[in-house]
Amino acid sequence: MTDGAPLESTRLDSTHLDSARLDAQFAFLNEADKLKQVLRATTLTDGSRRENSGEHSWHLALYAMVLADQAGPGVNIDRVIRMLLLHDLVEIDVGDVPIHSANGQAHGSAEIQAAEARAAERLFGLLPDDIGPAFRALWEEFEAAESPDAVFAKSLDRVQPLMHNIESGGGSWTEYNVTAEQLHQRVGTKVARGAPALWDWIWARAERFFRHA
């Protein structure tokens, strides 16, 4: 299985039962359920509670489907969706490091990257050999943010929390005393790299939260 191949390519004869293979597949799926327990700094759009990382991943996949027209040349939305469904699984072991929190400097640090790599090794290692390496490769591609697919996926990963903060009246920006400069540097540049029109549209709506700064 290649990372760009359709999911149907892994289907087996329906009369064939490979118990060991199913044990591995469900071990991974059951482990992935733990992502629903990882709470993020961002709240739901109504501000009623914090979003969990499982919800975030699902919502991002939907973002990719709906905002596919914002993707640059050569972007394969099917691959973007798959990246986004996988991208935060490592938080099962590492947890979420909010980009604007007091510990925000750890976001993307060598220490966190090493911990996430270990988590990826463990989690994707639960899968059969014809699936796990391809999933791991997609995760690594997203982290590297060099391919057109990964650049667009990274942009959407920044867009979704922005929209939640706008809809909830400031959200984590207020909680962490985020400045306009910090938002542009930590988030805006990432969004603009893969979806420049989206950043222009979002900043026009987010700017009012930073007029006091």
pLDDT tens string 49-92: 999 999 999 999 999 999 999 999 999 999 999 999 999 999 99
Higher pLDDT, 198 or 13: 198
What domain range includes position 116? 19-210
What does the alpha-carbon distance between residue 81 and residue 151 come to, in Å, rounded to a whole number? 13
* Lowest-pLDDT choice from 37-46, 95-104, 157-166: 95-104
pLDDT tens for residues 161-184? 999 999 999 999 998 999 999 999
Cα distance between residue 176 and residue 60, in whole Å: 23
The mean of the pLDDT values for the chain is 91
When pLDDT is cut at 50, 70 and 90, the band that residue 97 belongs to is confident
- Rounded Cα–Cα distance for residues 153 and 189 (Å): 14
* Confidence band of 14 (pLDDT split at 50, 70, 90): low
Q: Is residue 99 part of a domain?
A: yes
Q: Is residue 4 part of a domain?
A: no
Number of domains in the chain: 1
| The pLDDT of residue 16 | 72
Residue 122 counted as domain residue: yes
**Does residue 13 form part of some domain?**
no
Average pLDDT over residues 121-146: 98
| Prediction pTM value | 0.89
pLDDT surpasses 60 at 12: no
Q: Is residue 204 part of a domain?
A: yes
Q: How many residues does the chain have?
A: 213
169 within a domain of the structure (yes/no): yes
Q: What is the pLDDT of residue 63?
A: 98
> Among 70, 102, 90, which Cα is nearest to 202's?
70
CA dihedral over 76, 78, 80, 83, signed as positive or negative: negative
CATH code of the domain covering residue 133: 1.10.3210.10
Give the start-end residues of each E strand in the chain. 39-43, 50-52
Structure confidence at residue 15 (pLDDT)? 54
**Does 186 score more than 70 pLDDT?**
yes
Asked whether residue 107 is assigned to any structural domain, the reply reads: yes
